[in-house]
Amino acid sequence: MRIEMNRHAYVHDLEQHLQLSLFGNGVADPDGAVLLVRGALAGGDQARAASLAEATQRLAADTPDDQDMAAAADHARGLIEQDPLILERAAGRYSGDFARACALEDAGNAWAEQDNQYHAEERLRQAHALYERLGETDGMARVRSCLRAVGTRLRHWRHAGRPAFGWGSLTDTERRIADLVAQGLSNRDVANQVFLSTHTVAFHLRHVFWKLGVSSRVQLARLAAEQAAPSAAGPHRD
């Protein structure tokens, strides 16, 4: 119960922080904007979700040179209206594969809601392929579940349980980003290495910090070094 309460508190604090950063300070964070809209919809608060989507539209208008922010505005609107065509447009405008996969996943689910199995399966398969390329096992599992719901089954994958916190809780993409950041690379350098946008790298890094219980890149580097030490030492011999 205590852990569950802490998680709810974390989610509430994260939403408040994102909302203040985005719409209070005008920070262009496409992933954060979509996350807020998605969270409001998941909580059943359609009015708040619509208000956040409108704020995302205004922020995109204030940052006309930010392609990903414009894509996020489409993404947020598509989620509110459950319009697969708008969501597909968002996917096409994103510069990073992770955000594009998320938009395609949402488009596939929106097509499924309209009982259009062909387009639903097509978009979900595209999302799955992107998640697979990125090593995003959570996204892959989620999309496979969506595909099963529309009557399609991909080849069987074994699902290994993952803890909620600690190094073992990181997804493949999060671990790759954590390793590169621990080596001293900037978010922009990491983005170039893993073929993601800097916004998406920052989004993943926030999750890494939370899961590992760290608040700085220095702490992350220290923890990564501790993880690498047993491997570097090799097997013990008498």
Does 98 share its domain with 140? Answer: yes
Does 134 share its domain with 177? Answer: no
pLDDT averaged per 10 residues in sequence order, the chain, 238 residues: 46 57 64 85 89 90 90 96 95 90 94 92 92 88 90 57 75 89 93 84 83 87 83 52
Does 148 share its domain with 189? Answer: no
Burial 49-66 (b: 16+ CB within 10 A, else e): bbebbebbbebbeebeeb
| 27: containing domain | 18-81
Per the structure, how many domains does the chain have? 3
| pLDDT on residue 185 | 94
Contact between residue 191 and residue 233 where contact means Cβ atoms under 8 Å apart: no
Contact between residue 125 and residue 147 where contact means Cβ atoms under 8 Å apart: yes
Is 238 domain-assigned?
Answer: no
Does 101 share its domain with 151? Answer: yes
| pLDDT on residue 15 | 61
Query: 215, exposed or middle or buried, with CB in 10 Å at 0-12, 13-18, 19+?
Result: exposed
Q: Report if pTM > 0.85.
A: no
